[in-house]
């Protein structure tokens, strides 16, 4: 039984980190004409109204996307990536001035679709899947009610020359970290040039380390990680203190563009917020 619902966390600092990076990836991929298959293994919803009761309960967006949105004019020219991301975020709003919605990964990916591309999404929570279906994303996008990692592996190799995968589980089960590692290894085996982005939480229990270690031990190469630490791990015993991203086959230049965007954004995401980007396993 799945309990996690992303609406409670929509637009928080981890979403900013993840979707800014996802946006940078799609911008890079769109430089070439050749078709792309995108797979979103744990899709959630397309759009999250910030006024929904679930989102209003914790209001995590107030320490995430909201300060960036409010400062968007002042931030301009600090980072081309951040400017472009904030402009794209504006497309999800009902008016140009008010931040009323935060878009989830299906929206960010559907926005990047061209006629030659395809997006395949998976969602296992019946309510979240129904919502994804109801919201109807534009472009060549399809969704399946089912397990995302199994669905991804079943579809490999894809028919397009390029593949970009987002793996963004809720990690409700401890075993998910190693399941993600296995799925990433299998994806790399079946689609050698796939660009894959895995999100993981930084929690005091540090279970993400098992996943990182397993991938290194298995000999997978070209793995880059980006970690946004919001406060010291000990500051809260249970809470998520940071957001991590692991990228297989990251595009050249992503580290510099993301570093510049996050340097501009960090002062608004928390007094002690820090970012580090580095190879976990080099080429
Ligand atoms: N990717 C979304 C975004 O960036 O906006 C957020 C996804 S949220 C962190 C994780 C989602 O995965 C939840 O909606 C949850 O219901 C769904 N989920 C959990 N287990 C799953 C599984 N085995 N396969 C597919 N979806 C799953």
| pLDDT at residue 231, rounded to an integer | 82
| pLDDT at residue 139, rounded to an integer | 86
Ligand 1 center–CA 48 separation, angstroms: 14
What whole-number distance in Å separates Cα of residue 21 and Cα of residue 258? 7
What whole-number distance in Å separates Cα of residue 243 and Cα of residue 275? 10
| pLDDT at residue 194, rounded to an integer | 97
Q: From atom 9 of ligand 1, which residue's Cα is the shortest distance away?
A: 170
| pLDDT at residue 100, rounded to an integer | 97
* Model pTM score: 0.97
| pLDDT at residue 259, rounded to an integer | 96
Domains defined along the chain, listed by start: 6-277 (3.40.50.150)
Model ipTM value:
0.99
| pLDDT at residue 77, rounded to an integer | 79
| pLDDT at residue 141, rounded to an integer | 95
Q: Distance of CA 13 to CAs 73, 100, 122, Å? A: 20, 17, 24
Q: What is the CA radius of gyration of the chain?
A: 18
- Per-block mean pLDDT, blocks of 10 residues, the chain (283 long): 90 97 98 98 97 94 96 87 96 93 98 97 96 90 97 97 98 96 98 97 95 97 97 72 97 96 94 94 92
* Residues near 252 by beta carbon (within 8 Å), at least 6 away in sequence: none
What whole-number distance in Å separates Cα of residue 258 and Cα of residue 17? 9
| pLDDT at residue 183, rounded to an integer | 98
Q: Which of 1, 6, 13 to mutate to test the pocket of ligand 1 (most atoms within 8 A of CB)?
A: 6
> Could you report the per-residue pLDDT of 134-181, keeping only the tens digit for each?
998 888 999 999 999 999 999 999 999 999 999 999 999 999 999 999
CA proximity to 229, closest of 246, 211, 244: 244
Count of other CB atoms within 10 angstroms of residue 79: 21
| pLDDT at residue 235, rounded to an integer | 67
> Could you report the per-residue pLDDT of 244-276, keeping only the tens digit for each?
999 999 999 999 999 999 999 999 998 889 999
**Contact assessment for residue 12 and residue 61, using Cβ atoms and an 8 Å cutoff:** yes
Residue 47 exposed, middle or buried by CB count within 10 Å (0-12, 13-18, 19+): middle
| pLDDT at residue 96, rounded to an integer | 84
**Contact assessment for residue 273 and residue 64, using Cβ atoms and an 8 Å cutoff:** no
168 catalytically annotated: yes
């Amino acid at each position: 039984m799945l309990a996690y619902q992303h609406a409670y966390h929509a637009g928080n600092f981890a979403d900013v980190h993840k979707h800014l990076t996802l946006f940078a990836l799609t911008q890079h991929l769109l430089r070439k004409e050749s078709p792309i298959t995108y797979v979103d293994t744990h899709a959630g919803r397309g759009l999250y109204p910030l006024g929904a009761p679930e989102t209003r309960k914790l209001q995590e967006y107030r320490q995430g996307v909201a300060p960036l949105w409010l400062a968007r004019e002042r931030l301009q020219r600090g980072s081309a990536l951040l400017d472009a991301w904030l402009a794209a975020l504006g497309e999800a709003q009902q008016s140009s001035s008010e931040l009323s919605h935060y878009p989830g990964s299906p929206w960010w990916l559907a926005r990047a679709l061209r006629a030659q591309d395809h997006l395949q999404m998976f969602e296992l929570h019946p309510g979240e899947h129904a919502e994804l279906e109801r919201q109807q994303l534009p472009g060549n996008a399809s969704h399946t009610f089912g397990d995302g990692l199994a669905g991804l592996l079943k579809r490999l190799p894809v028919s397009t020359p390029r593949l970009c995968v987002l793996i963004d589980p809720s990690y409700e089960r401890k075993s998910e970290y190693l399941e993600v590692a296995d799925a990433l290894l299998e994806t790399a085996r079946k689609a050698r040039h796939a660009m894959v982005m895995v999100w993981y939480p930084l929690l005091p229990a540090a279970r993400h380390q098992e996943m990182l270690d397993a991938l290194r031990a298995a000999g997978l190469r070209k793995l880059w990680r980006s970690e946004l630490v919001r406060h010291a791990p000990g500051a809260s015993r249970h809470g998520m203190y940071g957001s991590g991203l692991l990228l297989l086959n990251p595009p050249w230049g992503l580290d510099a563009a993301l570093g510049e965007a996050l340097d501009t954004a960090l002062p608004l995401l928390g007094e002690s917020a820090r970012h580090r980007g580095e190879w976990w396993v080099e080429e």
